[in-house]
Amino acid sequence: MLPKELFQPKSIAVIGASRNQEKVGYGVFANLVKAGFPGSLYGVNPGGGEVLGYPLLTSVEAVPAPIDLGVFVVSPKDILKAFPILAAKGMKAAIAISAGFKEIGGEGILLERDLTAMAKSTGIRVVGPNCLGVIDTHACMNASFSNGTPSKGNIGFISQSGALCTAILDQSIGGDIGFSKVISMGNKADVSESDLLEYLADDPETRVIMGYIESIDDGRRFVRAAKEVTSRKPVILVKAGATASGAKAASSHTGSLAGSDNAYGAAFRQAGIIRAASIEELFDFSIAFSMRPPTSSGKILILTNAGGPGILAADAVERLGINLFEVSEELQAKMAPKTPPTASLNNPIDIIGDARADRYRDVLNILSQEDSIDTILVLLTPQGMTEPDETARATVETLGKTNKAVFASFVGQASVEEARKILMAGGIPSYPVPERAVDAACAMFRYSNVRRADFPEDGGSLGGRPMAAQRALGRILNKGGKGGEEDSRDILEAYGFSFPKNAFATTSKEAVEAFRSMSVPKVVMKIVSPQILHKTDVGGVKLGLASEEDVANAYETMMSTISRLVPDAHIEGVSIQEMIVGGQELILGLTRDPQFGPLLMFGLGGIYVEVLKDVAFRIAPISKRDAREMIREIKYYPLLAGYRGTDPVDEDAVVDALERLSVMSSDFPEILELDINPIRVMPKGKGLRAIDCRVSVAGTEK
Amino acid sequence: MLPKELFQPKSIAVIGASRNQEKVGYGVFANLVKAGFPGSLYGVNPGGGEVLGYPLLTSVEAVPAPIDLGVFVVSPKDILKAFPILAAKGMKAAIAISAGFKEIGGEGILLERDLTAMAKSTGIRVVGPNCLGVIDTHACMNASFSNGTPSKGNIGFISQSGALCTAILDQSIGGDIGFSKVISMGNKADVSESDLLEYLADDPETRVIMGYIESIDDGRRFVRAAKEVTSRKPVILVKAGATASGAKAASSHTGSLAGSDNAYGAAFRQAGIIRAASIEELFDFSIAFSMRPPTSSGKILILTNAGGPGILAADAVERLGINLFEVSEELQAKMAPKTPPTASLNNPIDIIGDARADRYRDVLNILSQEDSIDTILVLLTPQGMTEPDETARATVETLGKTNKAVFASFVGQASVEEARKILMAGGIPSYPVPERAVDAACAMFRYSNVRRADFPEDGGSLGGRPMAAQRALGRILNKGGKGGEEDSRDILEAYGFSFPKNAFATTSKEAVEAFRSMSVPKVVMKIVSPQILHKTDVGGVKLGLASEEDVANAYETMMSTISRLVPDAHIEGVSIQEMIVGGQELILGLTRDPQFGPLLMFGLGGIYVEVLKDVAFRIAPISKRDAREMIREIKYYPLLAGYRGTDPVDEDAVVDALERLSVMSSDFPEILELDINPIRVMPKGKGLRAIDCRVSVAGTEK
């Protein structure tokens, strides 16, 4: 938990306060003074002198105790020297603005380690280093070198980029957006995004949390914290570096598909975070949540004075998969006397080009009384008779105080500028084009689907036989970490996965014998060799062998092909498997994300997985609900659910299997990657049959 | 061809000019006067009097000949009365601003028909009715009731919504965007978007054409015209009503997937039109093309003074599938002396937070001399030492006059407002957030891929045997228009499609006999009944019958199942087909779009088509290149091209097949819908085997 002294200190010492207006140390001190910080404020600078009427103390020792908050704008080494002195004076929290730490590498890394250690050992929480600072508008505290102080508002903003902080504050200072708190996180040596989310969740001045994130260090804590927060307040984040998944060398399909962005995507989804695709969306969404209560109907009513913008808004509604509110005949009858006969009273309601403010007001009055409508988009295009300002006022007066989510888009520039200001000041979020307003409305609906905390602390009720798996893992380790099919299968069987009948053979004769003893109609033969991972590529798979002769021939062909194509491979033998007919091919997988830990994958299997990439990810541990959501997230799902003549598959069995994989991932952190591909899901009630699998194990862990 | 008198008349008569400032007739006349129309200007109003120093004539007859352009702001009936009188005075073009035509229905439809007829019979081209009017900024002609006249510029703008015109002009008047011509098309009684595209293509003042379109009447002419235009100038359109594809009752897969938006999508793609997804994109893209030459490298160089915005821009680059320019070591060496050691000289080039304008200028100077760079994005975030205005000037001075596509995004508001104006005035398109700048750069790259005109006027070299197809079509018509499998197959065979061996049987004995005479390993049995379209649903398909006994049993089971499930169906018998093993299942299809005519579809076949919807569309006639692009457009394409152990399919055979379908669609306009699903494409060189097909024919055409 962060101390409240970070935001509402009674006393602040600025180490490195400066008289030189070019220096950051001046900027920070001046911001504190100009924002009207009501507590005791001390500046420290060896040169002494006076800033804005405050005398500068020449040493840290001279600062009178008690001090709640230390703000540091001196060199890293001077921070480390001053810190213990202020700690002794009762400092509860610190903001390290100075750069020169981890971001410069080398010695900077060591200095940052020292700062972190000091924070841990004293219990004093440190924001930064290498950050813009911290602002609490309601406490009149601006401990940052921002260019001015933003307006008061109810948006809490956290940012991993100081520059972006500046840019966003610039918008606030010039415009219509207000903040409760602004925290530039810098290098996150101590205070992390998770700490801040938890604090802002409890902050009565903060209604919505927006943030810019480049990386998350403790992914699992973040998901846990965010999940708790989003059940109380919307959290909207933009994740930069989203597509730069890097060239991770992965030997499994799951590993190669699970770029870090998929892990963030899964984490955000599981945590109920609304992800903005750009800074513009971050703003657009935050403004909406800041001004209006979240709504859940999924239906929008559009009011317009021109067809074109109405159609564009309706297009956006359809594209986003939400709906137009259906206007009943009764409601149409109420509006009819207030509108000309050529108006269109279906949604979008078009009260046509000559609508003055009074016509808008009449219709908005009627709409404001309709409880079944929770989301309204008011569009205006400036035409001959249009009264933009007065229409803005009518919108605010009729809808501003209601519990409806109301959005406005007055299209144009010169004639609607003032109207937009009236709308924003009246609590109606206003967007330059209709599509952006619809996007924001859709974000609200998405938030209403955010689940309340149901994050299982460890696995579900399904377990496995860890000891049996442990033995197989040991064998894999002995072979260098890459599991062959036999050992991989043993691990999965220990967790309840079932495979076709199976035997191992090292000669043609043994293969024929295996076929005979299985007494199944058809078998598949596959090469067993630690060097051959993609068996199909080298002729290492033969399907549909239906007679002893088939089996013998397949064996000879396979050996001669492989010895030609992969002469260096060590061939252990072949596996003879019962051939499974029917069902649908899926892939289940597990990989490890550096931030979030075990990442489960579900998707369309076989060779399709790499081309169609129709897969879903979740961070383990998962609940049954998570598992079911994963299954239903893929595009192919309708075919699994039973589509025109195909039987529905055994979805419950897939849910169980995903849960079991989740448990396995926590039982065995040394399992780095795992593919079960394909795994065939049979019709409802008939379970799963894993066909092929592969496990990679880390040798150094556990 | 439109007469140039529509835009640069020597003389104009405004019928309905008014002294009453509340009237549209005043607005139009005043705009003509205020914009400084240099030719002869006459206002007509039965009440007489004077407007802005011009005496009003009391009758149309009193207008002195010759008159080039008539502008009408009187009732529809008065337009129809005045039109012939002005025609006799030499009128070359007319603008009908008044409403009261088609859009009000009833009598209005008849009045509009009369207006169209008058235009056709006199050869006088008419814009409107029900429109805002026409503006030519370079000719100082504003024949519209817009609220002011937009700045001169090089964007030609056509709009099917008068209100949207107004909104966009409002932006121009208040802001930085200039137009060459603005045409509000209204009901398009005579002058269409195709006429205007053709005119603007030849207009030396117009560098880029932007438009807002709700519907296109003659789709085929539009594609032909646009294709010609886009080879010379970029055309950017937003299509409203895009997703409202309506509930078209289609019996084929092709028909049900080909909503009108797919037809527009195909048309725009084939015509080389850049489609904007929103009004905001329409603006963003138009500004880019208006200010910078189109570039083609597909590579962007990003220069920034802060990490965050740089990463967000790089994310957008990756998301759009374009690339970051790779900065060579030589280039880095050139920049190094001008930048601090902590700067990052890889792309994004980060010259860090304390960069003043001179550092930007130094680096931009170096970049401006690099011929291998054609696209540069300059980012700026206002920080302590940042000089936004001076940096904007440095950008304009170093890059403004180059042939590079340069984009800027100075993030923030208050501190960067002036800088943005400097950039725009200096010919550098400027965007509030980096992502939108990258989107615009990507649109430029897309334009560079627009093909030069190669639209075949009728089909390719491949043909069919129309007479044989004609006979089968006759049989389908006799059965009510829905083709059974036998007749449909005859049509396709006439156009070179090959099917598996096949026989028809009406008894179990005949079925067994058919199997025997085929001497193939396996056959498929399918029900033949005009009432049963989805055979699988009712047990009407049996696969893999390998013996006479199998065939006999399958027949009995099928008949008993179907008589139970579809007791009313008339059963003609069963088809016995050779079973094709191997290859990949595709769908080829044809449907008719009301605007664009024959629409061809290609995609993943079988039951996947409806779920994955992995299909591509083109308007026939198509070239080989179109066909190949269709094939490569689907997501599944890598699997067709040969993916890890699968053989590449016979792509050339698919290209031929699509061309043959294209020819067929023009030989037989009465074919309304056609599905070949599945059609199996065999490995390279082995051709296609159509498995199932269905043709629907119109009874009333031809």
B507-531 per-residue burial string, b: 16 or more CB within 10 A, e: under 16: ebebbbbbbeebeeebbbbbbbbbe
CA distance A574 to chain B (A): 19
CA dist., res. B418 & res. A176, Å (int): 19
Cβ neighbours of residue A119 closer than 8 Å, sequence gap 6 or more: A94, A125, A126, A189, A190
CB contact under 8 A, B164 and A411: yes
pLDDT tens digits, one per residue of B399-457: 999 999 999 999 988 889 999 999 999 999 999 999 999 999 999 998 987 754 444 43
Which structure tokens are listed for A695? Answer: 């496990």
Given this model, what pLDDT does residue B389 score?
97
More confident residue, B43 or A701: B43
Q: Does B435 touch chain A (CB under 8 A)?
A: yes
Interface test mutation site (partner B, options A166, A320, A541, max chain B beta carbons within 10 A):
A166
CB contact under 8 A, A383 and B163: yes
pLDDT-based confidence at residue A188 (cuts at 50, 70, 90): very high
Torsion-angle region of residue B442: left (phi > 0), alpha (psi -120 to 50) or beta? alpha
Q: Does A544 touch chain B (CB under 8 A)?
A: no
pLDDT-based confidence at residue A462 (cuts at 50, 70, 90): low
- Determine which of A59-63, A287-291, B245-249 has the lowest per-residue pLDDT on average: B245-249
Given this model, what pLDDT does residue A455 score?
41
Residue B173 has pLDDT above 80, yes or no: no
CA dist., res. A169 & res. B315, Å (int): 23
- Determine which of A439-453, A564-578, B297-311 has the lowest per-residue pLDDT on average: A439-453
Average pLDDT over residues B216-226: 89
pTM of the model: 0.84
Q: Does B638 touch chain A (CB under 8 A)?
A: yes
Residue in chain B nearest A534 by alpha carbon: B644
Give me the residues of B, 371-410, that contact A with CB < 8 A.
381-384
From the DSSP assignment, how many helices (H) and strands (E) are in chain A? 23, 29
CB contact under 8 A, A382 and B212: no
Residue A396 has pLDDT above 60, yes or no: yes
Q: Does A434 touch chain B (CB under 8 A)?
A: yes
Given this model, what pLDDT does residue B174 score?
65
CB contact under 8 A, A383 and B166: yes
pLDDT-based confidence at residue B245 (cuts at 50, 70, 90): very low
Average pLDDT over residues B353-380: 95
* Minimal Cβ distance to A382: which of B104, B170, B534: B170
CA atoms lying within 13 Å on the CB side of residue B58: 4
pLDDT-based confidence at residue B247 (cuts at 50, 70, 90): very low
Given this model, what pLDDT does residue B513 score?
93
- Determine which of A500-509, A601-610, B287-296, B304-313 has the lowest per-residue pLDDT on average: A601-610
Q: Does B243 touch chain A (CB under 8 A)?
A: yes
| Cβ neighbours around A608 below 10 Å, total | 21
Nearest CA to B523 out of B531, B514, B532 is that of B514
Given this model, what pLDDT does residue A457 score?
39
* Minimal Cβ distance to A384: which of B145, B279, B644: B145
Given this model, what pLDDT does residue B376 score?
97
Residue in chain A nearest B634 by alpha carbon: A612
pLDDT-based confidence at residue B692 (cuts at 50, 70, 90): confident
ipTM (interface predicted TM): 0.80
What's phi and psi for A544, nearest 5 deg?
65, 35
- Three-state SS string over A448-516 comes to HCCCCCCCCCCCCCCCCCHHHHHHHHHHHHHCCCECCHHHHHHHHHHCCCCCCCEEEECCHHHHHHHHH
Q: Does A326 touch chain B (CB under 8 A)?
A: no
A478-482, B368-372, B412-416, B444-448 — which one is most confidently predicted on average? B368-372
A620-624, A692-696, B274-278 — which one is most confidently predicted on average? B274-278
Given this model, what pLDDT does residue A255 score?
64
Given this model, what pLDDT does residue B167 score?
85
Q: Does A278 touch chain B (CB under 8 A)?
A: yes
Residue B702 has pLDDT above 80, yes or no: no
A566-570, B75-79, B585-589 — which one is most confidently predicted on average? B75-79
More confident residue, A111 or B457: A111
| Cβ neighbours around B315 below 10 Å, total | 23
Average pLDDT over residues A13-35: 94
Q: Does A247 touch chain B (CB under 8 A)?
A: no
Given this model, what pLDDT does residue A79 score?
97
Q: What does R_g of chain B's alpha carbons equal in angstroms?
A: 32
Give me the residues of A, 562-591, that contact B with CB < 8 A.
none
B665, B458 in Cβ contact below 8 A?
no
CB contact under 8 A, B166 and A241: no
Which amino acid would we find at residue B161? S
CB contact under 8 A, B638 and A537: no
More confident residue, A463 or B258: A463
B89, B113 in Cβ contact below 8 A?
no
pLDDT tens digits, one per residue of A404-443: 999 999 998 888 999 999 999 999 999 999 999 999 999 9
A218-222, B355-359, B663-667 — which one is most confidently predicted on average? B355-359
Interface test mutation site (partner A, options B311, B380, B532, B636, max chain A beta carbons within 10 A):
B311
CB contact under 8 A, A312 and B278: yes
Beta-bridge partners for B681: B584, B688
Nearest CA to B164 out of A440, A358, A301, A313 is that of A313
CA dist., res. B404 & res. A418, Å (int): 37
Which structure tokens are listed for B600? Answer: 């061809």
CA distance B376 to chain A (A): 20
Given this model, what pLDDT does residue A296 score?
85
Residues in chain A: 702
CB contact under 8 A, A433 and B537: no
pLDDT-based confidence at residue A700 (cuts at 50, 70, 90): very low
Mean pLDDT of chain B: 89
Q: Does B256 touch chain A (CB under 8 A)?
A: no
Given this model, what pLDDT does residue A459 score?
42
Residue B544 has pLDDT above 60, yes or no: yes
Given this model, what pLDDT does residue A54 score?
95
CA dist., res. B266 & res. A165, Å (int): 43
- Three-state SS string over A281-327 comes to HHHHHHHHHHHCCCCCCCEEEEEECCHHHHHHHHHHHHHCCCEECCC
CA distance A45 to chain B (A): 21
Average pLDDT over residues B208-222: 91
A289, A447 in Cβ contact below 8 A?
yes
pLDDT tens digits, one per residue of B13-49: 999 999 998 889 999 999 999 999 999 999 999 999 9
CB contact under 8 A, B315 and A611: no
Given this model, what pLDDT does residue B121 score?
96
DSSP B265-317: HHHHHHHTPEEESSHHHHHHHHHHHHHS----S-EEEEEESSHHHHHHHHHHH
CB contact under 8 A, B173 and A414: yes
More confident residue, B534 or A577: A577
pLDDT-based confidence at residue A158 (cuts at 50, 70, 90): very high
CB contact under 8 A, A382 and B433: no
Residue A536 has pLDDT above 90, yes or no: no
pLDDT-based confidence at residue A256 (cuts at 50, 70, 90): low
- Determine which of A42-46, B202-206, B214-218 has the lowest per-residue pLDDT on average: B214-218
pLDDT-based confidence at residue A644 (cuts at 50, 70, 90): low
* Minimal Cβ distance to B319: which of A243, A318, A319: A243
CA dist., res. A343 & res. A352, Å (int): 6
Percent of chain B with pLDDT over 90: 60
Residue B641 has pLDDT above 50, yes or no: yes
Q: Does A309 touch chain B (CB under 8 A)?
A: yes
Mean pLDDT of chain A: 89
CA distance A538 to chain B (A): 8
